[in-house]
A and B are shown apart, each in its own frame.
Chain A
Protein backbone atom coordinates (compact mmCIF):
# COMPACT_ATOMS: atom_id res chain seq x y z
CA UNK A 1 0.00 0.00 0.00
CA UNK A 2 2.43 2.66 -1.18
CA UNK A 3 0.26 5.62 -2.21
CA UNK A 4 -0.71 8.85 -0.61
CA UNK A 5 -4.42 8.77 -1.34
CA UNK A 6 -6.96 6.03 -1.36
CA UNK A 7 -7.84 5.27 -4.94
CA UNK A 8 -8.94 2.21 -6.85
CA UNK A 9 -5.39 0.90 -7.12
CA UNK A 10 -5.01 0.94 -3.38
CA UNK A 11 -8.33 -0.85 -2.92
CA UNK A 12 -7.39 -3.41 -5.58
CA UNK A 13 -4.15 -4.10 -3.80
CA UNK A 14 -6.04 -4.46 -0.55
CA UNK A 15 -8.43 -6.89 -2.19
CA UNK A 16 -5.52 -9.00 -3.39
CA UNK A 17 -3.91 -9.09 0.05
CA UNK A 18 -7.13 -10.20 1.72
CA UNK A 19 -8.11 -12.74 -0.91
CA UNK A 20 -4.67 -14.34 -1.02
CA UNK A 21 -4.81 -14.65 2.77
CA UNK A 22 -7.96 -16.81 2.39
CA UNK A 23 -10.22 -14.12 3.82
CA UNK A 24 -12.77 -15.03 1.13
CA UNK A 25 -14.69 -12.91 -1.33
CA UNK A 26 -17.65 -12.00 0.89
CA UNK A 27 -15.64 -10.89 3.89
CA UNK A 28 -13.14 -9.09 1.66
CA UNK A 29 -15.91 -7.14 -0.05
CA UNK A 30 -17.42 -6.35 3.34
CA UNK A 31 -14.12 -4.90 4.53
CA UNK A 32 -13.61 -2.94 1.32
CA UNK A 33 -17.12 -1.54 1.43
CA UNK A 34 -16.57 -0.31 4.95
CA UNK A 35 -13.26 1.25 3.99
CA UNK A 36 -14.90 2.95 1.01
CA UNK A 37 -17.57 4.39 3.27
CA UNK A 38 -15.02 5.79 5.63
CA UNK A 39 -12.94 7.13 2.77
CA UNK A 40 -16.00 8.82 1.27
CA UNK A 41 -16.54 10.64 4.54
CA UNK A 42 -12.94 11.78 4.71
CA UNK A 43 -11.82 12.31 1.15
CA UNK A 44 -8.22 13.10 1.78
CA UNK A 45 -7.33 10.12 3.82
CA UNK A 46 -3.69 9.10 3.39
CA UNK A 47 -2.37 5.58 3.28
CA UNK A 48 -1.00 5.71 6.81
CA UNK A 49 -4.48 6.40 8.06
CA UNK A 50 -5.82 3.74 5.73
CA UNK A 51 -3.48 1.23 7.31
CA UNK A 52 -4.82 1.98 10.76
CA UNK A 53 -8.44 1.91 9.66
CA UNK A 54 -7.97 -1.27 7.74
CA UNK A 55 -6.50 -3.04 10.72
CA UNK A 56 -9.37 -1.76 12.83
CA UNK A 57 -11.95 -3.04 10.38
CA UNK A 58 -10.40 -6.49 10.12
CA UNK A 59 -9.76 -6.81 13.85
CA UNK A 60 -13.35 -5.71 14.44
CA UNK A 61 -14.58 -8.84 12.70
CA UNK A 62 -12.72 -11.12 15.08
CA UNK A 63 -15.10 -12.07 17.87
CA UNK A 64 -14.23 -11.26 21.42
CA UNK A 65 -14.00 -13.98 23.97
CA UNK A 66 -17.46 -14.19 25.49
CA UNK A 67 -16.32 -15.26 28.90
CA UNK A 68 -13.31 -13.34 30.00
CA UNK A 69 -10.27 -12.38 27.98
CA UNK A 70 -7.75 -15.06 28.82
CA UNK A 71 -4.29 -13.65 28.54
CA UNK A 72 -2.51 -16.86 29.35
CA UNK A 73 -2.92 -20.63 29.32
CA UNK A 74 -5.64 -20.49 31.93
CA UNK A 75 -9.16 -21.69 32.40
CA UNK A 76 -11.89 -19.32 33.57
CA UNK A 77 -12.12 -18.92 37.32
CA UNK A 78 -15.16 -19.99 39.31
CA UNK A 79 -15.85 -23.12 37.27
CA UNK A 80 -16.54 -26.31 39.15
CA UNK A 81 -13.74 -28.71 38.33
CA UNK A 82 -12.86 -30.59 36.25
CA UNK A 83 -12.96 -28.19 33.30
CA UNK A 84 -13.72 -30.34 30.26
CA UNK A 85 -12.41 -29.44 26.80
CA UNK A 86 -13.73 -31.47 23.90
CA UNK A 87 -11.48 -31.14 20.85
CA UNK A 88 -13.04 -31.62 17.41
CA UNK A 89 -12.21 -31.06 13.75
CA UNK A 90 -11.76 -32.61 10.33
CA UNK A 91 -8.98 -35.08 9.54
CA UNK A 92 -5.37 -34.14 10.04
CA UNK A 93 -5.81 -30.54 11.15
CA UNK A 94 -3.72 -30.95 14.31
CA UNK A 95 -6.16 -31.88 17.09
CA UNK A 96 -3.96 -34.41 18.85
CA UNK A 97 -0.84 -32.27 18.55
CA UNK A 98 -2.66 -29.21 19.90
CA UNK A 99 -3.89 -31.25 22.87
CA UNK A 100 -0.34 -32.44 23.48
CA UNK A 101 1.06 -28.91 23.42
CA UNK A 102 -1.80 -27.56 25.54
CA UNK A 103 -1.33 -30.22 28.17
CA UNK A 104 2.26 -29.03 28.63
CA UNK A 105 1.18 -25.39 28.93
CA UNK A 106 -1.60 -26.14 31.41
CA UNK A 107 0.70 -28.32 33.43
CA UNK A 108 3.29 -25.55 33.59
CA UNK A 109 0.58 -23.31 35.02
CA UNK A 110 0.14 -25.78 37.86
CA UNK A 111 -3.06 -27.42 36.65
CA UNK A 112 -3.59 -31.13 37.10
CA UNK A 113 -4.34 -32.34 33.57
CA UNK A 114 -5.87 -35.54 32.19
CA UNK A 115 -6.28 -36.62 28.56
CA UNK A 116 -8.91 -38.90 27.03
CA UNK A 117 -7.96 -40.96 23.97
CA UNK A 118 -11.37 -40.95 22.29
CA UNK A 119 -9.95 -41.27 18.79
CA UNK A 120 -10.22 -45.02 18.70
CA UNK A 121 -10.50 -45.12 14.92
CA UNK A 122 -7.48 -43.69 13.08
CA UNK A 123 -4.53 -46.06 12.83
CA UNK A 124 -2.27 -45.70 15.89
CA UNK A 125 -4.18 -42.67 17.17
CA UNK A 126 -4.11 -44.02 20.74
CA UNK A 127 -0.35 -44.61 20.55
CA UNK A 128 0.10 -41.04 19.29
CA UNK A 129 -1.71 -39.37 22.17
CA UNK A 130 -0.06 -41.72 24.68
CA UNK A 131 3.34 -40.61 23.40
CA UNK A 132 2.28 -36.99 23.86
CA UNK A 133 1.18 -37.85 27.40
CA UNK A 134 4.60 -39.36 28.10
CA UNK A 135 6.32 -36.31 26.66
CA UNK A 136 4.42 -33.87 28.81
CA UNK A 137 4.02 -36.09 31.85
CA UNK A 138 0.22 -36.11 31.69
CA UNK A 139 -1.82 -39.30 32.17
CA UNK A 140 -4.03 -40.59 29.36
CA UNK A 141 -7.28 -42.54 29.74
CA UNK A 142 -7.43 -45.07 26.91
CA UNK A 143 -9.44 -48.18 26.13
CA UNK A 144 -7.47 -49.08 23.02
CA UNK A 145 -8.33 -48.98 19.34
CA UNK A 146 -11.78 -49.72 17.94
CA UNK A 147 -13.52 -49.25 21.27
CA UNK A 148 -16.48 -46.93 21.95
CA UNK A 149 -15.21 -43.32 22.01
CA UNK A 150 -18.11 -42.22 24.26
CA UNK A 151 -17.05 -44.74 26.89
CA UNK A 152 -13.52 -43.32 26.83
CA UNK A 153 -14.83 -39.78 27.20
CA UNK A 154 -17.10 -40.86 30.06
CA UNK A 155 -14.30 -42.63 31.90
CA UNK A 156 -11.95 -39.70 31.46
CA UNK A 157 -14.53 -37.27 32.87
CA UNK A 158 -15.28 -39.64 35.73
CA UNK A 159 -11.65 -40.19 36.64
CA UNK A 160 -10.99 -36.46 36.45
CA UNK A 161 -13.88 -35.70 38.83
CA UNK A 162 -13.06 -38.45 41.27
CA UNK A 163 -9.35 -37.81 41.40
CA UNK A 164 -9.41 -34.04 41.57
CA UNK A 165 -8.11 -33.12 38.13
CA UNK A 166 -8.44 -29.49 37.05
CA UNK A 167 -8.65 -30.01 33.31
CA UNK A 168 -9.57 -32.93 31.08
CA UNK A 169 -9.07 -32.75 27.32
CA UNK A 170 -10.83 -35.27 25.09
CA UNK A 171 -9.22 -36.07 21.73
CA UNK A 172 -11.63 -37.20 19.04
CA UNK A 173 -11.15 -38.83 15.65
CA UNK A 174 -10.91 -36.53 12.66
CA UNK A 175 -14.16 -36.45 10.72
CA UNK A 176 -15.41 -34.56 7.73
CA UNK A 177 -18.36 -32.39 8.67
CA UNK A 178 -20.57 -33.73 5.86
CA UNK A 179 -20.62 -37.24 7.35
CA UNK A 180 -23.82 -37.39 9.32
CA UNK A 181 -23.08 -40.55 11.30
CA UNK A 182 -19.74 -39.29 12.45
CA UNK A 183 -21.18 -35.93 13.45
CA UNK A 184 -23.91 -37.71 15.41
CA UNK A 185 -21.23 -39.67 17.18
CA UNK A 186 -19.76 -36.38 18.41
CA UNK A 187 -23.13 -35.26 19.72
CA UNK A 188 -23.31 -38.55 21.56
CA UNK A 189 -19.86 -38.15 23.10
CA UNK A 190 -20.95 -34.76 24.37
CA UNK A 191 -24.16 -36.16 25.83
CA UNK A 192 -22.35 -38.97 27.58
CA UNK A 193 -19.95 -36.55 29.26
CA UNK A 194 -22.95 -34.50 30.40
CA UNK A 195 -24.44 -37.52 32.11
CA UNK A 196 -21.59 -37.25 34.50
CA UNK A 197 -20.85 -33.53 34.53
CA UNK A 198 -24.03 -31.68 33.43
CA UNK A 199 -22.30 -28.40 32.57
CA UNK A 200 -19.56 -30.12 30.55
CA UNK A 201 -17.96 -29.79 28.11
CA UNK A 202 -17.05 -26.29 29.22
CA UNK A 203 -15.28 -25.70 25.95
CA UNK A 204 -15.74 -27.36 22.57
CA UNK A 205 -12.64 -26.44 20.64
CA UNK A 206 -12.75 -26.66 16.86
CA UNK A 207 -9.29 -27.04 15.38
CA UNK A 208 -8.84 -25.54 11.91
CA UNK A 209 -5.84 -26.03 9.66
CA UNK A 210 -4.45 -22.59 8.81
CA UNK A 211 -3.84 -23.62 5.22
CA UNK A 212 -7.50 -24.53 4.64
CA UNK A 213 -9.45 -22.32 2.29
CA UNK A 214 -13.14 -21.50 2.21
CA UNK A 215 -14.21 -25.00 3.27
CA UNK A 216 -13.33 -24.03 6.84
CA UNK A 217 -16.57 -22.00 6.89
CA UNK A 218 -18.59 -25.17 6.27
CA UNK A 219 -16.55 -26.94 8.94
CA UNK A 220 -17.38 -24.23 11.47
CA UNK A 221 -21.06 -24.36 10.50
CA UNK A 222 -21.50 -28.12 10.75
CA UNK A 223 -19.39 -28.65 13.87
CA UNK A 224 -21.26 -25.83 15.57
CA UNK A 225 -24.55 -27.52 14.70
CA UNK A 226 -23.39 -30.82 16.15
CA UNK A 227 -21.50 -29.64 19.22
CA UNK A 228 -21.93 -25.88 19.75
CA UNK A 229 -18.30 -25.00 19.18
CA UNK A 230 -17.12 -22.41 21.70
CA UNK A 231 -13.54 -21.73 20.66
CA UNK A 232 -11.18 -22.08 17.73
CA UNK A 233 -7.55 -23.09 17.39
CA UNK A 234 -5.73 -22.39 14.14
CA UNK A 235 -2.76 -24.62 13.37
CA UNK A 236 0.18 -24.68 10.99
CA UNK A 237 0.62 -20.92 10.90
CA UNK A 238 4.38 -21.44 10.86
CA UNK A 239 4.12 -21.83 7.07
CA UNK A 240 3.22 -19.26 4.43
CA UNK A 241 -0.53 -19.76 4.79
CA UNK A 242 -2.23 -16.90 6.62
CA UNK A 243 -5.39 -18.52 7.93
CA UNK A 244 -7.52 -15.55 6.89
CA UNK A 245 -10.68 -17.64 6.58
CA UNK A 246 -10.99 -17.51 10.36
CA UNK A 247 -11.90 -13.82 10.17
CA UNK A 248 -15.16 -14.49 8.38
CA UNK A 249 -15.83 -17.50 10.60
CA UNK A 250 -15.27 -15.58 13.79
CA UNK A 251 -17.51 -12.80 12.48
CA UNK A 252 -20.32 -15.07 11.32
CA UNK A 253 -20.42 -17.51 14.22
CA UNK A 254 -19.11 -15.25 16.98
CA UNK A 255 -16.59 -17.82 18.10
CA UNK A 256 -13.30 -16.50 19.48
CA UNK A 257 -9.96 -17.82 18.35
CA UNK A 258 -8.05 -18.97 21.39
CA UNK A 259 -4.79 -20.58 20.26
CA UNK A 260 -2.55 -20.78 17.23
CA UNK A 261 -0.19 -23.62 16.35
CA UNK A 262 3.18 -22.58 14.98
CA UNK A 263 5.08 -25.86 14.73
CA UNK A 264 5.22 -29.48 15.76
CA UNK A 265 7.12 -29.18 19.03
CA UNK A 266 5.70 -28.89 22.56
CA UNK A 267 6.38 -25.17 22.79
CA UNK A 268 4.85 -24.32 19.41
CA UNK A 269 1.49 -23.11 20.68
CA UNK A 270 0.58 -19.49 21.33
CA UNK A 271 -2.33 -17.57 22.74
CA UNK A 272 -4.11 -15.92 19.83
CA UNK A 273 -3.24 -12.26 19.52
CA UNK A 274 -5.66 -10.34 17.34
CA UNK A 275 -3.31 -7.51 16.43
CA UNK A 276 -0.40 -9.77 15.59
CA UNK A 277 -2.69 -11.93 13.50
CA UNK A 278 -4.02 -8.96 11.55
CA UNK A 279 -0.46 -7.66 11.12
CA UNK A 280 0.64 -10.98 9.67
CA UNK A 281 -1.96 -10.65 6.90
CA UNK A 282 -0.33 -7.46 5.68
CA UNK A 283 3.25 -8.63 6.06
CA UNK A 284 4.87 -9.35 2.72
Chain B
Protein backbone atom coordinates (compact mmCIF):
# COMPACT_ATOMS: atom_id res chain seq x y z
CA UNK B 1 0.00 0.00 0.00
CA UNK B 2 2.92 2.30 0.72
CA UNK B 3 4.27 1.78 -2.78
CA UNK B 4 0.77 2.03 -3.98
CA UNK B 5 0.16 5.32 -2.21
CA UNK B 6 3.47 6.83 -3.17
CA UNK B 7 2.91 5.83 -6.84
CA UNK B 8 -0.54 7.33 -6.75
CA UNK B 9 0.86 10.51 -5.27
CA UNK B 10 3.52 10.66 -7.95
CA UNK B 11 0.81 10.32 -10.53
CA UNK B 12 -1.13 13.11 -8.90
CA UNK B 13 1.99 15.23 -9.18
CA UNK B 14 2.50 14.34 -12.82
CA UNK B 15 1.70 17.79 -14.05
CA UNK B 16 4.16 19.30 -11.70
CA UNK B 17 7.17 19.38 -13.99
CA UNK B 18 8.73 22.77 -13.93
CA UNK B 19 7.06 23.79 -10.70
CA UNK B 20 9.62 24.11 -7.93
CA UNK B 21 7.47 23.77 -4.85
CA UNK B 22 4.26 22.38 -3.48
CA UNK B 23 1.38 24.76 -4.06
CA UNK B 24 -2.31 24.89 -3.25
CA UNK B 25 -3.15 23.73 -6.75
CA UNK B 26 -0.74 20.88 -7.21
CA UNK B 27 -1.31 19.42 -3.77
CA UNK B 28 -5.10 19.11 -3.97
CA UNK B 29 -5.36 15.75 -5.75
CA UNK B 30 -2.53 14.40 -3.68
CA UNK B 31 -4.23 15.27 -0.43
CA UNK B 32 -7.34 13.53 -1.69
CA UNK B 33 -5.33 10.36 -2.30
CA UNK B 34 -3.87 10.51 1.20
CA UNK B 35 -7.30 11.01 2.69
CA UNK B 36 -8.57 8.03 0.79
CA UNK B 37 -5.69 5.90 1.99
CA UNK B 38 -6.40 6.90 5.58
CA UNK B 39 -10.10 6.11 5.26
CA UNK B 40 -9.21 2.76 3.70
CA UNK B 41 -7.16 2.17 6.83
CA UNK B 42 -10.28 2.89 8.95
CA UNK B 43 -9.27 6.34 10.10
CA UNK B 44 -12.50 8.16 10.85
CA UNK B 45 -13.87 10.28 8.01
CA UNK B 46 -13.73 13.59 9.90
CA UNK B 47 -10.39 12.81 11.49
CA UNK B 48 -8.94 11.96 8.07
CA UNK B 49 -10.14 15.30 6.82
CA UNK B 50 -8.54 17.18 9.71
CA UNK B 51 -5.29 15.27 9.42
CA UNK B 52 -4.99 15.81 5.68
CA UNK B 53 -5.73 19.50 6.10
CA UNK B 54 -2.79 19.69 8.49
CA UNK B 55 -0.63 17.73 6.08
CA UNK B 56 -1.57 20.10 3.33
CA UNK B 57 -0.63 23.12 5.42
CA UNK B 58 2.69 21.57 6.34
CA UNK B 59 3.54 20.71 2.75
CA UNK B 60 2.59 24.01 1.18
CA UNK B 61 5.57 25.99 0.06
CA UNK B 62 8.01 23.17 0.64
CA UNK B 63 10.60 22.80 -2.04
CA UNK B 64 10.34 19.70 -4.12
CA UNK B 65 13.66 17.94 -3.86
CA UNK B 66 15.24 16.42 -6.89
CA UNK B 67 16.44 13.36 -4.97
CA UNK B 68 13.02 12.12 -3.88
CA UNK B 69 9.75 11.99 -5.74
CA UNK B 70 7.05 14.38 -4.59
CA UNK B 71 4.95 11.35 -3.73
CA UNK B 72 7.60 9.99 -1.41
CA UNK B 73 7.99 13.41 0.11
CA UNK B 74 4.28 13.65 0.88
CA UNK B 75 4.25 10.16 2.32
CA UNK B 76 7.10 11.18 4.63
CA UNK B 77 5.23 14.29 5.73
CA UNK B 78 2.13 12.15 6.33
CA UNK B 79 4.08 9.57 8.29
CA UNK B 80 5.65 12.23 10.52
CA UNK B 81 2.29 13.85 11.08
CA UNK B 82 0.67 10.56 12.12
CA UNK B 83 3.59 9.67 14.38
CA UNK B 84 3.50 12.94 16.25
CA UNK B 85 -0.28 12.76 16.45
CA UNK B 86 -0.09 9.45 18.26
CA UNK B 87 2.34 10.88 20.79
CA UNK B 88 6.07 10.95 20.30
CA UNK B 89 7.06 9.28 23.56
CA UNK B 90 6.17 6.11 25.38
CA UNK B 91 3.83 6.58 28.37
CA UNK B 92 3.76 4.16 31.29
CA UNK B 93 0.85 3.20 33.47
CA UNK B 94 0.58 4.83 36.88
CA UNK B 95 0.64 2.53 39.90
CA UNK B 96 -0.21 4.45 43.03
CA UNK B 97 -1.97 3.46 46.22
CA UNK B 98 -1.89 0.44 48.42
CA UNK B 99 -2.77 -1.62 46.55
CA UNK B 100 -2.57 0.21 43.23
CA UNK B 101 -5.80 -0.37 41.29
CA UNK B 102 -6.12 -0.75 37.52
CA UNK B 103 -9.59 -0.69 35.96
CA UNK B 104 -10.18 -2.33 32.57
CA UNK B 105 -13.07 -1.19 30.35
CA UNK B 106 -14.27 -1.55 26.78
CA UNK B 107 -16.71 -2.99 24.26
CA UNK B 108 -17.77 -6.63 24.11
CA UNK B 109 -15.11 -8.99 22.84
CA UNK B 110 -12.41 -6.33 22.52
CA UNK B 111 -9.92 -8.40 24.51
CA UNK B 112 -10.25 -7.08 28.08
CA UNK B 113 -10.07 -10.38 29.93
CA UNK B 114 -7.15 -11.61 27.84
CA UNK B 115 -5.34 -8.32 28.40
CA UNK B 116 -6.03 -8.51 32.14
CA UNK B 117 -4.20 -11.85 32.23
CA UNK B 118 -1.33 -10.49 30.15
CA UNK B 119 -0.87 -7.38 32.26
CA UNK B 120 -0.92 -9.46 35.43
CA UNK B 121 1.78 -11.67 33.99
CA UNK B 122 3.89 -8.69 33.01
CA UNK B 123 3.59 -6.99 36.40
CA UNK B 124 4.34 -10.25 38.15
CA UNK B 125 7.53 -10.62 36.12
CA UNK B 126 8.46 -7.12 37.28
CA UNK B 127 8.30 -8.51 40.81
CA UNK B 128 4.93 -7.08 41.82
CA UNK B 129 2.32 -9.15 43.60
CA UNK B 130 -0.97 -9.01 41.71
CA UNK B 131 -4.58 -9.97 42.31
CA UNK B 132 -7.31 -10.06 39.66
CA UNK B 133 -10.91 -9.04 40.36
CA UNK B 134 -13.62 -10.83 38.35
CA UNK B 135 -16.28 -8.13 37.94
CA UNK B 136 -17.93 -9.42 34.74
CA UNK B 137 -21.09 -10.84 36.26
CA UNK B 138 -22.95 -11.16 32.94
CA UNK B 139 -21.10 -13.06 30.24
CA UNK B 140 -21.47 -16.84 30.51
CA UNK B 141 -18.28 -18.31 32.00
CA UNK B 142 -16.53 -14.94 32.24
CA UNK B 143 -15.32 -15.76 35.75
CA UNK B 144 -14.07 -19.19 34.66
CA UNK B 145 -12.22 -17.59 31.78
CA UNK B 146 -10.40 -15.17 34.07
CA UNK B 147 -9.64 -17.99 36.50
CA UNK B 148 -8.08 -20.10 33.76
CA UNK B 149 -5.89 -17.17 32.71
CA UNK B 150 -5.03 -16.35 36.33
CA UNK B 151 -3.92 -19.92 36.82
CA UNK B 152 -1.86 -19.81 33.62
CA UNK B 153 0.09 -16.79 34.78
CA UNK B 154 0.12 -17.78 38.44
CA UNK B 155 -1.97 -14.93 39.79
CA UNK B 156 -4.87 -15.24 42.21
CA UNK B 157 -8.38 -14.29 41.06
CA UNK B 158 -10.93 -12.84 43.45
CA UNK B 159 -14.47 -13.84 42.43
CA UNK B 160 -17.93 -14.10 43.95
CA UNK B 161 -20.03 -16.14 41.52
CA UNK B 162 -23.25 -15.50 43.45
CA UNK B 163 -22.79 -11.75 43.85
CA UNK B 164 -24.53 -9.62 41.22
CA UNK B 165 -22.99 -6.32 42.29
CA UNK B 166 -19.84 -5.41 40.36
CA UNK B 167 -19.03 -2.46 42.65
CA UNK B 168 -19.12 -4.65 45.72
CA UNK B 169 -16.98 -7.38 44.17
CA UNK B 170 -14.35 -4.82 43.14
CA UNK B 171 -14.28 -3.30 46.63
CA UNK B 172 -14.02 -6.65 48.34
CA UNK B 173 -11.26 -7.76 45.96
CA UNK B 174 -9.26 -4.68 46.90
CA UNK B 175 -9.83 -5.28 50.60
CA UNK B 176 -8.70 -8.87 50.18
CA UNK B 177 -5.62 -7.81 48.23
CA UNK B 178 -4.75 -5.35 50.96
CA UNK B 179 -5.14 -8.03 53.62
CA UNK B 180 -2.80 -10.26 51.62
CA UNK B 181 -0.40 -7.38 51.08
CA UNK B 182 -0.69 -7.52 47.27
CA UNK B 183 0.67 -4.51 45.42
CA UNK B 184 -1.66 -4.35 42.41
CA UNK B 185 -5.30 -5.22 41.72
CA UNK B 186 -6.53 -5.43 38.12
CA UNK B 187 -10.29 -5.21 37.76
CA UNK B 188 -11.76 -7.03 34.73
CA UNK B 189 -15.22 -5.81 33.78
CA UNK B 190 -17.98 -6.88 31.43
CA UNK B 191 -18.02 -5.67 27.85
CA UNK B 192 -20.52 -2.87 27.22
CA UNK B 193 -21.69 -0.63 24.45
CA UNK B 194 -21.34 3.13 24.87
CA UNK B 195 -25.08 3.57 24.25
CA UNK B 196 -26.02 1.20 27.07
CA UNK B 197 -26.83 3.73 29.81
CA UNK B 198 -27.29 1.21 32.56
CA UNK B 199 -24.01 -0.53 31.86
CA UNK B 200 -22.15 2.77 31.49
CA UNK B 201 -23.55 3.83 34.87
CA UNK B 202 -22.25 0.59 36.33
CA UNK B 203 -18.68 1.10 35.16
CA UNK B 204 -18.75 4.74 36.26
CA UNK B 205 -19.93 3.57 39.70
CA UNK B 206 -17.15 0.98 39.84
CA UNK B 207 -14.58 3.63 39.04
CA UNK B 208 -16.04 6.00 41.60
CA UNK B 209 -15.96 3.38 44.32
CA UNK B 210 -12.45 2.06 43.79
CA UNK B 211 -10.56 5.18 42.59
CA UNK B 212 -8.10 3.41 40.28
CA UNK B 213 -4.75 5.06 39.61
CA UNK B 214 -5.01 3.76 36.06
CA UNK B 215 -8.10 3.20 33.92
CA UNK B 216 -7.48 1.53 30.57
CA UNK B 217 -9.82 1.49 27.59
CA UNK B 218 -9.34 -1.69 25.57
CA UNK B 219 -10.14 -1.44 21.88
CA UNK B 220 -10.04 -3.90 19.00
CA UNK B 221 -7.63 -2.62 16.35
CA UNK B 222 -10.00 -3.80 13.62
CA UNK B 223 -12.64 -1.27 14.70
CA UNK B 224 -13.98 0.94 11.96
CA UNK B 225 -15.54 4.39 11.84
CA UNK B 226 -17.42 3.94 15.11
CA UNK B 227 -14.21 3.98 17.17
CA UNK B 228 -14.57 7.72 17.73
CA UNK B 229 -18.11 7.50 19.15
CA UNK B 230 -17.20 4.70 21.50
CA UNK B 231 -13.95 6.25 22.68
CA UNK B 232 -15.58 9.62 23.23
CA UNK B 233 -18.41 8.22 25.34
CA UNK B 234 -16.16 5.98 27.42
CA UNK B 235 -13.84 8.92 27.97
CA UNK B 236 -16.69 11.25 28.93
CA UNK B 237 -17.88 8.76 31.52
CA UNK B 238 -14.57 7.40 32.78
CA UNK B 239 -11.91 9.94 31.87
CA UNK B 240 -9.64 6.97 31.19
CA UNK B 241 -5.86 7.26 31.35
CA UNK B 242 -4.80 5.19 28.42
CA UNK B 243 -5.76 2.93 25.55
CA UNK B 244 -4.90 -0.71 24.84
CA UNK B 245 -4.96 -1.73 21.20
CA UNK B 246 -5.65 -5.44 20.68
CA UNK B 247 -5.46 -8.10 17.96
CA UNK B 248 -2.62 -6.43 16.13
CA UNK B 249 -1.41 -9.88 15.09
CA UNK B 250 -4.01 -9.59 12.33
CA UNK B 251 -3.57 -7.63 9.11
CA UNK B 252 -5.72 -4.66 10.01
CA UNK B 253 -4.22 -1.24 9.27
CA UNK B 254 -5.48 -0.04 12.61
CA UNK B 255 -6.62 3.46 11.68
CA UNK B 256 -8.83 3.46 14.78
CA UNK B 257 -5.67 4.19 16.77
CA UNK B 258 -5.38 7.54 15.04
CA UNK B 259 -9.06 8.40 15.34
CA UNK B 260 -9.12 7.65 19.06
CA UNK B 261 -5.93 9.51 19.81
CA UNK B 262 -7.15 12.52 17.90
CA UNK B 263 -10.59 12.57 19.50
CA UNK B 264 -9.83 11.84 23.16
CA UNK B 265 -6.17 12.83 23.32
CA UNK B 266 -5.22 9.93 25.54
CA UNK B 267 -2.05 7.90 24.97
CA UNK B 268 -2.04 4.35 23.70
CA UNK B 269 -0.11 2.47 26.36
CA UNK B 270 -0.09 -1.16 25.29
CA UNK B 271 -0.58 -3.30 22.25
CA UNK B 272 -1.86 -6.84 22.36
CA UNK B 273 -0.88 -9.12 19.50
CA UNK B 274 -1.97 -12.66 20.22
CA UNK B 275 -3.89 -15.02 22.43
CA UNK B 276 -0.87 -16.20 24.40
CA UNK B 277 -0.17 -14.52 27.71
CA UNK B 278 3.13 -13.01 26.61
CA UNK B 279 1.80 -11.33 23.45
CA UNK B 280 1.86 -7.86 24.98
CA UNK B 281 4.07 -4.88 24.24
CA UNK B 282 4.27 -1.17 24.83
CA UNK B 283 3.11 1.12 22.05
CA UNK B 284 5.39 2.56 19.39
CA UNK B 285 3.80 5.51 17.57
CA UNK B 286 6.16 5.37 14.60
CA UNK B 287 5.48 1.69 13.90
CA UNK B 288 1.77 2.33 14.10
CA UNK B 289 2.00 5.23 11.66
CA UNK B 290 3.85 3.01 9.21
CA UNK B 291 1.29 0.28 9.66
CA UNK B 292 -1.62 2.59 8.95
CA UNK B 293 0.12 3.69 5.76
CA UNK B 294 0.87 0.08 4.85
CA UNK B 295 4.65 0.50 4.96
- Give chain A interface residues in 155-171, CB to chain B under 8 Å: none
A214 B193 Cβ-Cβ under 8 A: no
A25 B224 Cβ-Cβ under 8 A: no
CB of B93 within 8 A of chain A? no
CB of A218 within 8 A of chain B? yes
A124 B41 Cβ-Cβ under 8 A: no
A214 vs B139: C-alpha distance when bound (angstroms): 28
The interface residues of chain A lying within 8 Å CB-to-CB of B110 are: 92
A239 B193 Cβ-Cβ under 8 A: yes
Given known contacts A20-B44, A25-B39, A91-B275, is B141 in contact with A211 (CB within 8 Å)? no
The interface residues of chain A lying within 8 Å CB-to-CB of B256 are: 213
The interface residues of chain A lying within 8 Å CB-to-CB of B88 are: none
A93 vs B109: C-alpha distance when bound (angstroms): 6
Q: How far is the CB of A100 from chain B (nearest CB, A)?
A: 8
B226 A91 Cβ-Cβ under 8 A: no
How would residues 103 to 144 of chain B score, 1 for a CB under 8 Å from any chain A CB and 0 otherwise?
000011111010000000000000000000000001111101
How would residues 202 to 243 of chain A score, 1 for a CB under 8 Å from any chain B CB and 0 otherwise?
000000010111111010000000000000000010111110
If over half of B's interface residues share one DSSP class (helix, strand or loop), that class is named, otherwise mixed; here it is loop
A121 vs B149: C-alpha distance when bound (angstroms): 12
- Give chain A interface residues in 224-264, CB to chain B under 8 Å: 236, 238-242, 245, 264
A92 vs B223: C-alpha distance when bound (angstroms): 12
CB of B194 within 8 A of chain A? yes
B222 A238 Cβ-Cβ under 8 A: no
B275 A122 Cβ-Cβ under 8 A: yes
A19 B194 Cβ-Cβ under 8 A: no
Q: Which residues of A contact B (CB under 8 A)?
A: 16, 19-22, 24-25, 90-94, 100, 121-125, 127-128, 130-132, 135, 176-179, 209, 211-216, 218, 236, 238-242, 245, 264
A131 B225 Cβ-Cβ under 8 A: no
The interface residues of chain A lying within 8 Å CB-to-CB of B152 are: 123
Other than the given A94-B108, A214-B40, A238-B193, 4 more pairs (CB < 8 A) read A25-B36, A92-B108, A124-B144, A215-B253
User: Considering only CB atoms, which chain B residue lies closest to A127 in the complex?
Assistant: B141
A130 vs B109: C-alpha distance when bound (angstroms): 19
CB of B162 within 8 A of chain A? no
Given known contacts A19-B45, A92-B111, A209-B109, is B250 in contact with A215 (CB within 8 Å)? yes
B250 A212 Cβ-Cβ under 8 A: no
B107 A127 Cβ-Cβ under 8 A: no
Q: How far is the CB of A282 from chain B (nearest CB, A)?
A: 15
B145 A211 Cβ-Cβ under 8 A: no
The interface residues of chain B lying within 8 Å CB-to-CB of A125 are: 141
A16 vs B35: C-alpha distance when bound (angstroms): 13
CB of B209 within 8 A of chain A? no
A92 vs B40: C-alpha distance when bound (angstroms): 23
A121 vs B152: C-alpha distance when bound (angstroms): 13
A124 B275 Cβ-Cβ under 8 A: no
A213 B149 Cβ-Cβ under 8 A: no
User: Considering only CB atoms, which chain A residue lies closest to B228 in the complex?
Assistant: A20
Given known contacts A19-B39, A25-B39, A123-B148, is B247 in contact with A176 (CB within 8 Å)? yes
B148 A124 Cβ-Cβ under 8 A: yes
B224 A211 Cβ-Cβ under 8 A: yes
A215 vs B249: C-alpha distance when bound (angstroms): 13
Closest 9 pairs between A and B when the two form their complex, measured CB to CB: A213-B224, A92-B109, A213-B42, A241-B226, A131-B140, A123-B148, A124-B144, A124-B145, A127-B141
